[in-house]
Amino acid sequence: MAEVDTHGRFHFAKTNAYSGDNGRAAIRNDKNGANVVYTAGNAGAGANPQPNGIIVGAGLQILTAERTPLAAQNPGLPSPVGSFNITQLGFKADKVGKDTNFRGLTVSNNVLYTTKGSGSNGINTVYFVDTTGFDANGKPLACPSGVGLPGANATLPTAPIFYDATQLQTLGVVPYNMCILKGFPTILANGTNTFDPVSGKYTAAATQPGSGLQKWVFDAGLGAWKLAYVLQAGLNLGVPYTVHGYPTGQNPKTGLPWAPAAEGLRNIAGRVNR
């Protein structure tokens, strides 16, 4: 993880997380002397069974914001700070760790939020880390059934999950301490990827009404978030584009064009600029 300060100086922190693929976002928390960094990233790309390090090194992580030289750092095992499983909503268990294939990251009112928007596993939606504790059944207090709202007196996490290593291969990182933000989608991802040679578009991406820049507002009467609108103009959803040096024509293995196309936006801003 790299950090640049107001004087243009870079600082780096090593981590053994994201060995399965890549980290995607980072936010520092220095409130009340916390001095930690939250990161979001990919899960493992392979099938079960996966090495324990891949499972614990996915999704949301917490690191110490280092000032020591890289050569002197010894990060040790990954330190997950958030964990979710679709079984919290009553769905059948998926591949271990794939439900925490996260991408976006933001903090608002002392709550850590993240988004999942890739792959054919899990639920592509908005999540938050619940730091208020667990009920008698080990469920997050903010969402015993997997969906909820942050507590009024929520605090940012300052330590990783003390997970049960004996459960990694079957349940992943437990206990689960994350919730889907109430009002956002709870539908399982299906990984649809179809191309129409007549129109020259990836049809699934081109016809998705929710793809694009979404604005959500909180409805106090409903006690849930509501979609206000989606901006799609100029995104060319589903329209293949060329990349210099990238193959052209059809991929013989997939039967789809080598050319990529935008399917939508997968990050989270967490604010409206006025």
Domain that holds residue 131: 2-191
* 272 part of a folded domain: no
168 and 141 part of one domain: yes
Chosen domain end from 136, 167, 191: 191
pLDDT per residue as tens, the chain (274 positions): 899 989 999 999 999 999 867 899 999 999 988 999 999 998 877 777 888 999 999 999 999 988 899 999 998 999 999 999 999 999 999 888 889 989 999 999 999 999 997 767 889 899 999 999 999 999 999 999 999 999 988 999 999 999 999 999 999 999 999 999 999 999 876 666 666 666 666 777 778 888 889 999 999 999 999 999 999 999 998 888 889 999 988 899 988 888 888 887 888 987 766 6
Mean pLDDT of the chain: 89
77 and 187 part of one domain: yes
Provide the terminal-to-terminal Cα distance of the chain, rounded to the nearest Å. 31
> Do 195 and 115 contact (CB within 8 A), yes or no?
no
Classified as helix, coil or strand, 188 is strand
* Residue 261 DSSP symbol: B
6 and 57 part of one domain: yes
Count: domains in the chain = 2
- The residues facing 40 across adjacent strands are 25, 60
> Do 203 and 211 contact (CB within 8 A), yes or no?
no
Chosen domain end from 125, 160, 191: 191
Cα 123 from Cα 104, distance rounded (Å)? 14
* 19 part of a folded domain: yes
* 274 part of a folded domain: no
Q: Output the pLDDT for position 274.
A: 61
Distances (CA, A) of 201 to 208, 213, 240: 12, 20, 7
Query: What tokens does 242 get?
Result: 């060329």
Q: Output the pLDDT for position 9.
A: 92
178 and 197 part of one domain: no
103 and 231 part of one domain: no
* 228 part of a folded domain: yes
Positive or negative: CA dihedral 41, 91, 174, 182: positive
State pLDDT tens for residues 2-17. 999 899 999 999 999 9
Cα 160 from Cα 63, distance rounded (Å)? 9
> Do 157 and 131 contact (CB within 8 A), yes or no?
yes
Cα 83 from Cα 56, distance rounded (Å)? 9
Q: Which amino acid is at 45?
A: A
Q: Output the pLDDT for position 117.
A: 77
Chosen domain end from 128, 163, 191: 191
196 and 186 part of one domain: no
40 and 79 part of one domain: yes
Distances (CA, A) of 103 to 44, 127, 148, 196, 251: 14, 11, 20, 28, 27
